[in-house]
Each structure stands twice: as structure tokens, then as C-alpha cells.
Structure 1
Amino acid sequence: MTQSNKSHVLSYGDAFVDYIATDTTNTSFSMFLGGATVNVAVGVARLGVPSAFITITGDDATSEFVRGELEAEEVTMEYAILEPEKRVSGVYVHLTEDHDRIFHQYIDDAPHIQVGAEDLKEEAFKEASVLNLCSGTLFQPKALETSRKAVEYAKKHGAMLSFDANIRPLRWNSESECRETIKSFFKDADLLKFTEEELTFLTETTSMQEGLEAIAELKVPIILITAGAEGTYAVLNGELQHVPVQPVIPVDTTGAGDAFMAGILRYVHLNGLPKTMDSLVECTAFANHLGALAATKAGALTAMPRLSELNI
């Protein structure tokens, strides 16, 4: 049974085009539909769960490509906005010798054109089991206002809030602005996801344990700290447990964290928020598996697993 019989998982954020290096020389690039919230929205749909996406696109060829790709993935776009002058952002992704990704350069020709709080359709939140946000647009004042309104609607209509830190330092004016803006969403979250580096950065601590202690007073029900090949550290009401992942040979880790989040949101939509450590470990192990699979192929969406490929 779905969480409260809600019809879809709802994501809000920017659509992106990823220009991903074809090899570690970082001299040639291939274009992919991208962006963390896009990847998660598509990942959820590929896992057989209805997925809706709130974003804004324009009237140019790149925007048409983005809309076409999302519709082909069966992501509901009825709550998205079309503003002719909007231009979809892009990012050049370099690969290291270890095939990790580095977000090298952002392209944003219309940063001021964002979904406004007044553009949000309340019915999208009435039917949402989960609202999924990340920090990718929060550096924009208008997008920040919209994000806060989205959280208000989610809480009003009983949708859980999932927040992935997903920090991109190049997009912020300062570390302090980045830190304080992101932390302001923690109090409303039902589920938080970080890397250990993001947790210690945000809490200005030097270890995962210190970071968790720094936010313990917020009493966030579930916190997930992803650690790549080491798996994930899952925290349920303050109790910590390590959830390992089956080793793979990585080709490109771009989108692995988004595949992980798609797995978490699928579980939450179908089963509700995990209430026991056993159920959280089950949920996290499934998400770990998806993240590992995503790392075995180049690109983000090209590597995003489909339900038909999984033995479940």
C-alpha cells in the first residue's frame, strides 16, 4: 500500500543538461539530461512509482529536449512551468583517474527565471506521498522562497519531506550562506541525506559522529550518510547502523547518489517511512544496490536502473 494512498512522489528543482567528459582527459564531452532532482524524478519513474516534477523550461531546442526526455520517461510534467525566455542550465562534468566526477563549470544564462511560489499548484502536494528537495536551487532567492512554500504545502497536506544536501559549492556566494540556508530546512525534514563531507561542512565539525551530535536536537527521524564503496550509515531516531554495499567496478559515479535516493523514495512511497532499524536497513540496502549499479555505466540517467532490470 502506498503511503497514505497518495498517488505520486513529487520533486522540485532545476532541469539540467550534463556535459560529461568521455574519458579522463576531459577534452571531449557528451550531452545528457541531468540535474539531481531530474535524476531522482526519472529514477523513481523507472522503478515503477508515479513521479511528478516541478521545474521551469523555455522555448529553445535544449528545453524541448529536456521536456521530451522527461515525458518519454513518464515523469508527470503537468505541474511544471513553461516560460519562453528561460534557458536550461548546464554543467561540465570532469572525470578523475578514479572515475569520480568533478563539477567543473556551470552554465546558467537565465538564473533569475525560476518557478515562483505563486506558480505552485497545491493539488500537486495533496497527492504527493513525499516531496523531494535538494540544495541545487536554494542559492537563488526566488527559488529559495518557492522551496519554502513547497515545504509549507507538503506539511499542510501530509507529504513527507526528503532533503538531499547535494552541495555544489561553486553555486554559492559564500560558505556561510550555503551552510545556513541548507540547515534551515532540517527542522522540517523527515529524511536527510548527506555525504560525510557534507555533514561535517554543514555542522562545522570534523567527524560524522560529531556532525550527528550537532544536529541531534532537531530529532530528524531518518538520516542517511552515503560513503561510496563503503555503503551507507543509516540513522533512525539517533541509532546508527552501517549498511554495506556489494563492491562493483566503477565506470562513472555521476548520478549514483541520485539512484540511491530514487530507491529510498520508492520504498517510502510503497511502505511509508521506516519505523524500525530492520526496515531502514532493508530500504537502505536496496538503495545501495541501485547506487552501485548506476556507477557501473557512464552518465547519470543512462545508468539509472529500471525495475525490469532488478530481481525484486
Structure 2
Amino acid sequence: MDLYSVGEMLVDFLPGSEPGSYIRNAGGAPANVAIAAARNGLEAAMCCSVGDDDFGRYLLGTLRENRVRCIRREPCREAVTTMAFVSLTEEGERSFTFVRKPGADMFLREEDVREADIRDTVIVHAGSCSLSASPAAEATAKALHLGREMGRLVSFDVNYRDMMWNGSQEACAAKVREILPDVDLLKISEEEADMLGGEAELPALMERYGLTLVVLTLGGQGARGYFRGRRLAVPGRRAHCADATGAGDAFWGGMLSQMRFRGVTQAEQLTEPLVQEALEYGNVSGWLCVQGRGAIPSLPTRQEIERHLV
């Protein structure tokens, strides 16, 4: 396997929709990253729990269609971990209200993360999993730690919305710092960077925890990259949206796929030109996802991305 993507699923509601109206083509960061990578030529494994309702069956079918293996399927009616009610304020800004289904964060467990699976892979990615005191959080931490111990390329997508379920911003920041020693590639937003001391502190943060690359996503304004403490300019394509369209996951899946395509198996092999190329590849992937209005059907293929590369 090329990619082992671990985490619970995230499902968002359509802006202004009534409770219970799912976006049927959403899958959450781990699923989206795995599918985006698979569409770019990688073999991907997705470790999650899929509920046995109509949405769960849809997602399971989508994963199979894209050659992504679901390691565990829950024989239960619970299909999601997090639900977001999205509406517009009077100023036209998006407003989010989050609700968690009882017991949903209990699906993913440490025993689901098997050493043999990680030993047989190249990249370990985790994200969209609560960092509160839960079995899912412990499973995520275990996957990252095993990946680092086995010398794999380890990637993590901080999800501020998930982290805030149990505790203060300070508690969330402490939990992120706890897992950073096991991470090579980190994806965060401006809000998440502020939680860790702000963008100006990123080079010091990278040095302290041994991070190789940090990609700061900027809503609808693309991204900025920091490679071994140096700031890299990411080409100015519109690569992300403000809410859960999957564009950020398309960016990350595209970036990881290009690193793997270039033969990278460890962070030490990354060079500035290679990282710059991977960021551009990911940027186009995210931009194409935005053009397609986001989510799984809009995650582009390698051929689609390469048609738009300069």
C-alpha cells in the first residue's frame, strides 16, 4: 500500500438545510484524502468505521470504486462522527453549529490500527479525528507513533472543529503539541496556527518538533508552505473554500500523491524543488475541486490535474 489514512468520518450539512439533510457526497478528511490520492494513481487504505445505513452504504461503495479499502465496518446505524449545521449570517458569512452523535467517537479503536498494515505502507496520514480523551483519539495517536517508529512518511491534518469537542483552546493546543513529535507533514488553517502561537511562530515550532513541512491553508486564498523552516510561495491559484467542500483534502491528496510519484518514502528525501512541485500539484488539485463545487465527485484525477499545470 502507498497510503494508510486513519480517522473517523466527518459529514457536513448543506448551508441552510434542515437537520438530517446530509451532503450525500461528503466523506470526511481521511476518506477524501485517500480517494484523492487513489485517483492520482496510488493504492490507498482507509481505516474508519462505516455505518450500516444508506449514507454508510453510499460511502462504502464510493471507497470501493476508487480502490480504497475500508478496514473496518461497523454493524450499526451510526454513520457519522460529526455533523455541522451551516447557515449564513446577515453579512453573508457562514455560521457553523456542530452536533456530535452519541458514542460516535467510540467507533475507531486502537486494535483497528495494526502494525502489519503500517509496515506494508509508505505514507501514514491521520486527520478529522477528535483529539479529546476517546478511543478514536488513541487510535489516531497510535497510527502516527507507529508510522514514525517504522520510518514512514507521517502526515497529519489538524481539524480545529473536531478538537474543540472536549476542552478549551489551550487544551487542544497542548494535545496537538503532544503528537507533533511523530509528524513530518502538517496541514493547518490560520485559526489553527493562531492556536499554536501564530504563523510567525511556525519556523520555531518546526525546529522544536522536527517538522519537515507545514502547509497553512488560507480559506479561498490558496496556501503557504514552510519547508524546513523556510517559507515557500505556493502559486496563487484559488485552491480552497471556507467550508467543507473537500478542496483542502484534494490539495493534500494531490500533494502526497506527487511526492510518492517522485519516489519519496521518507521525509529526509524531500528537497525544496520537489516540495515546490508537490505543492503546485496539490494546489491545482484543490482548485479543480473548488471548480467542481467540492466533495468526492469533484476530487480530480492525475490526468485532469496535469492538463492545468503550467
Answer yes or no: same fold by TM over 0.5.
Answer: yes
Q: Percent identity?
A: 25
Which amino acid is 1:258 matched to? D
Residue equivalent to 2:189: 195
Alpha-carbon distance, 1:260 to partner = 0.8
Alpha-carbon distance, 1:140 to partner = 4.5
Residue equivalent to 1:38: 31
Contact 1:9–1:130 under 8 Å retained in 2: yes
Q: How does 1:7-18 map to 2 (within 5 A)?
A: 7-18=1-12
Residue equivalent to 1:82: 74
Measure, in 2, the Cα distance between the counterparts of 1:192 and 1:254.
20
Residue equivalent to 1:235: 226
Contact 1:89–1:106 under 8 Å retained in 2: no
The number of aligned residues is 298
Q: How does 1:233-272 map to 2 (within 5 A)?
A: 233-247=224-238, 254-271=245-262, 272=264
Measure, in 1, the Cα distance between the counterparts of 2:88 and 2:295.
16
Residue equivalent to 2:301: 306
Which of 105, 125, 146 aligns to 1:153? It is 146
SS at match of 1:55: strand
Which amino acid is 2:283 matched to? N
Which of 275, 292, 295 aligns to 2:290? It is 295
Q: How does 1:111-260 map to 2 (within 5 A)?
A: 111-168=104-161, 170-201=164-195, 203=196, 205=197, 207-247=198-238, 254-260=245-251
Which amino acid is 2:245 matched to? T
Measure, in 1, the Cα distance between the counterparts of 2:140 and 2:241.
34
Alpha-carbon distance, 1:257 to partner = 0.9
Measure, in 2, the Cα distance between the counterparts of 1:255 and 1:31.
13
Measure, in 1, the Cα distance between the counterparts of 2:226 and 2:239.
25
Measure, in 1, the Cα distance between the counterparts of 2:93 and 2:125.
25
Measure, in 1, the Cα distance between the counterparts of 2:58 and 2:165.
24
Which of 64, 67, 70 aligns to 1:71? It is 64
Contact 1:12–1:133 under 8 Å retained in 2: yes
SS at match of 2:306: coil
Offset from partner CA, 1:202-239 (integer Å, 9 cap, x none) = x2x3x411343344322311111122444322222111
Q: Is residue 2:57 matched to residue 1:48? A: no
Alpha-carbon distance, 1:189 to partner = 0.9
Q: Is residue 2:281 matched to residue 1:286? A: yes
TM-score by length of 2: 0.84
The farther-off stretch of 147-156 and 190-199 is 147-156
SS at match of 2:211: coil
Measure, in 2, the Cα distance between the counterparts of 1:45 and 1:101.
31
Measure, in 2, the Cα distance between the counterparts of 1:59 and 1:247.
37
TM-score by length of 1: 0.84
Contact 1:86–1:113 under 8 Å retained in 2: no
Contact 2:9–2:128 under 8 Å retained in 1: no
Q: 1:95 to 1:295 in 2, by over 3 A?
A: farther
Offset from partner CA, 1:147-190 (integer Å, 9 cap, x none) = 22212322343321101112116523322221111221111111
Contact 2:52–2:77 under 8 Å retained in 1: yes
Q: Which runs of 5+ in 2 are unaligned?
A: none
Measure, in 1, the Cα distance between the counterparts of 2:34 and 2:87.
24
Which amino acid is 2:246 matched to? G
Offset from partner CA, 1:121-166 (integer Å, 9 cap, x none) = 2221112111111253322421122122212322343321101112
SS at match of 2:76: coil
Q: Which runs of 5+ in 1 are unaligned?
A: 1-6
